Structure 1
Amino acid sequence: MKLPPALPSKAQLERLRATATYRTLNLCSLGAGVQSSTLLIMSALGLAPREIPRYDAVIFADTQFEPDAVYKHLEKLQEIAHAADIPFIRISAGNIRHDALKPSGHYATMPLHILGDQGGRGMLRRQCTDEYKVKPIRRSVRAVLGAPIEDGHVGKVPAGRYAMQHIGFSFDEERRVRDEPPGAYNELEYPLIRLRMTRQDCMDMLAQYGLENTPKSACIGCPFSGNSRWRAMRDTQPDDWAAAVEFDEQIRHGHPAAGVALKGRAFVHRSRVALAQADIDRVTAHEWRGRQGEISLARYEEEPPGCSPYGCRRTEIPPEAAVEAGA
């Protein structure tokens, strides 16, 4: 299988750079989940042209460790984009699984759940999203705006060039939006929030166009996964489940490239036991019965929000879960 490149293709760069010389580019940061898939559908079909124009390009940053269902869905999105003459940019900063396990070189930590030698609990800092999602997309945005590229390094955007970058947060996710001022060459926009479209609205729209089974976009071994995702993976995606179990076992002592021995053991499941033995069938609300914040914690455990490069996850973890996880 051909691996995705680090930057847009020559043809994509030529087309978008030419456009950027005389107007603002309209770009979509595609996560391939429900909300960003809705943005692409609405753009391609012209369903809300004032809020969601025809995109000049959509950009997907591939961690190369996504579930098979995501890659199959991505093929459908590419067909939709192609039919609407929207360039589909698929780039990658590398294979996150391989990088996490290789014995040397640069690495970006995942938010693994840690069980200390003395029984203490913690969580590693999340650096993976920035490394494998945010930075590759930013580099691509600069590149299509005309920034010089030399030996893979993307320089500064020429003065006067700008991009509006659409992010797929729905109206019920407004709390996730970071309060960031416009940048020197781009501005983030959240059209689904302006349209007051909820996640359910997005799901209903996708169903109308044959995309009712749009999966959540998250790495196979993402430690932010809740029991419902682990169960679905085990029961319906055996290959992905096997890969997740294998990764969990291999990452037990942390990232070998760190150079410093982990004081404890690392797990992808928040119970801090091997994924293969984790009680993912347990009813979470029962597990936390009698504790303050039971409902919010149960919701977090069963359906944690997706891993987005443009929204802070920490603010979404209920206090009870954050304390327990060391977050």
Structure 2
Amino acid sequence: MQPEQLMLFEIAPDFRDHKKYRDGIFKTKAQLKEELRQLGRDRIYHVLSFGGGTQSAHLLEQHLQGLIHYDYIIFSDTGAEPQFIHEQVTWWQHRQRACGNTTPFLITHHSSMERGLEEMLMRYIHTDYQRFQMPVYCSTLDPVTGEIKAAGMMPRQCTVDFKIIPVKQAARRAVMELNGLEYRQQMPENIGFIIDIGFSYDEIRRINTSQSPQFKYMRLAYPLAEENLSTADSIRFLEDNGFPTRRSRCYLCPFNCDGARDIGMDWDEIIEAEPLSFLKACWFDTELRRVQRSGSKIMRSIPYLHYSRRPLVEVFAAEYARISAAYRVELAEWVSSWEAAIQEKWNQDELLIRA
């Protein structure tokens, strides 16, 4: 991009100038409604995929103010959110009631791994399960020279698998029940869905489709991007109204930052607010590399949760020493509980790696 183009972009961003919109990957809600109506799906249900953080809270507040209409508000529990995100979800439920708003507020989860990302990771570590759904930072080892080199990231599949798809399934289930139908029956041909996702304009790179791959009658909309609003705009809106502003993410999210790379999602917040969760993240970080070294996984890259591609226990050595001494018993109980749960649920058909 030329400097003059960049200057124009910074002054007046417009989603219509973005390649994803020009290529038809990102469409406006008006376009999506028209698509559904042309297919005969003129009974359209509007759903908010609520993440409990800032951007989706911005959309929720617009709904509570009567600026956007939703038929359902759905929060998908990934099983790895910090407690303060669950507290924010509760805060918004209280606010909804205080506003007299009666839109159904549903809480759902992954259809087969009900305990979410923790369950996926424990299943990956303790069984022959091969699918890895987190965007960890990777390094590779040259077998000849022994040199370790940075090698990008794994795909960010967790948002789709543990947030967006469960919301779609919950929305479908709710509407089928509303119409007196069983979940596995065919959706009536006149019903369609538009699901709003809180990706802002600065996250437009995360928009990959407006058509749900799972359900032909569902469309995905991104109203904040359509309004050319940034993450900072949503945070400012919440701050101006005295609303909570903590960013939604999992306690072990590789996009947590620190120092100069602070983007409002940082390891320091996890360390200070939820030390045991930080200790769990360190445990997962270490175990993923142990399993990778075993040669039992398809993944050949060396995985890290920290962007420096160093173990968390080294990056935060002093904090880890202090926290591990204080929470050693709790961590051991957590690990033991998960090992028993994975053995009971998944090991009928999957080989236990540790055995």
1:60 to 60, 75, 80: 75
Deviation at 1:261, TM superposition (A): 6.5
SS in 2 for 1:146: helix
Corresponding residue for residue 214 of structure 1: 245
Contact 2:210 2:221 in 1 (8 A): no
Q: In the alignment, residue 104 of structure 1 is paired with which amino acid?
A: T
Q: In the alignment, residue 83 of structure 2 is paired with which amino acid?
A: D
Corresponding residue for residue 321 of structure 1: none
Instruction: Please give the per-residue CA displacement for 1:154-209, whole angstroms capped at 9, x wherever unaligned.
Output: 45422110122222233444454345358732222233344444333322322244
TM-score normalised by the chain length of structure 1: 0.66
- Structure whose CA Rg is larger: 2
Q: In the alignment, residue 62 of structure 1 is paired with which amino acid?
A: D
Aligned-partner Cα distance in 2 for 1:265–1:254: 10
Deviation at 1:36, TM superposition (A): 0.5
Corresponding residue for residue 247 of structure 1: 284
Corresponding residue for residue 298 of structure 1: none
Contact 2:292 2:300 in 1 (8 A): no
Q: In the alignment, residue 116 of structure 1 is paired with which amino acid?
A: T
Q: In the alignment, residue 235 of structure 2 is paired with which amino acid?
A: M
Aligned-partner Cα distance in 1 for 2:229–2:221: 14
Structure 1: gaps spanning 5 or more residues:
1-20, 282-327
Q: In the alignment, residue 58 of structure 2 is paired with which amino acid?
A: T
Correspondence 1:43-54 to 2 at 5 A: 43-46=63-66, 48=67, 52-53=68-69
Q: 1:280 to 1:80 in 2, by over 3 A?
A: farther
SS in 1 for 2:96: helix
2:96 to 81, 84, 106: 81
SS in 2 for 1:221: coil
State the number of aligned residues: 252
Deviation at 1:256, TM superposition (A): 10
Structure 2: gaps spanning 5 or more residues:
1-40, 143-147, 319-355
Deviation at 1:269, TM superposition (A): 0.9
Corresponding residue for residue 311 of structure 1: none
Correspondence 1:307-322 to 2 at 5 A: none
Contact 2:200 2:224 in 1 (8 A): yes
Contact 2:77 2:108 in 1 (8 A): yes
**Which segment drifts farther, 87-96 or 183-192?**
183-192
Aligned-partner Cα distance in 2 for 1:133–1:68: 17
**Which structure shows the higher helix fraction?**
2
Corresponding residue for residue 346 of structure 2: none
Deviation at 1:254, TM superposition (A): 4.4
State the superposition RMSD in angstroms. 3.2
Instruction: Please give the per-residue CA displacement for 1:54-77, whole angstroms capped at 9, x wherever unaligned.
Output: x21111111110112111111112
**Which segment drifts farther, 155-164 or 23-32?**
155-164
Contact 2:133 2:158 in 1 (8 A): yes
Deviation at 1:124, TM superposition (A): 3.1
Contact 1:26 1:164 in 2 (8 A): yes
Corresponding residue for residue 13 of structure 1: none
Contact 1:44 1:81 in 2 (8 A): yes
TM-score normalised by the chain length of structure 2: 0.61
1:121 to 140, 144, 150: 150
Corresponding residue for residue 96 of structure 1: 117
Corresponding residue for residue 193 of structure 2: 163
Contact 2:49 2:164 in 1 (8 A): no
SS in 1 for 2:171: helix
Aligned-partner Cα distance in 2 for 1:280–1:160: 58
Corresponding residue for residue 217 of structure 2: 185
Q: 1:237 to 1:172 in 2, by over 3 A?
A: same
Q: In the alignment, residue 167 of structure 2 is paired with which amino acid?
A: I
Instruction: Please give the per-residue CA displacement for 1:119-170, whole angstroms capped at 9, x wherever unaligned.
Output: 24333343333321232122123223328546xxx45422110122222233
Contact 2:51 2:248 in 1 (8 A): yes
**Which segment drifts farther, 97-106 or 249-258?**
249-258
Q: In the alignment, residue 99 of structure 1 is paired with which amino acid?
A: M
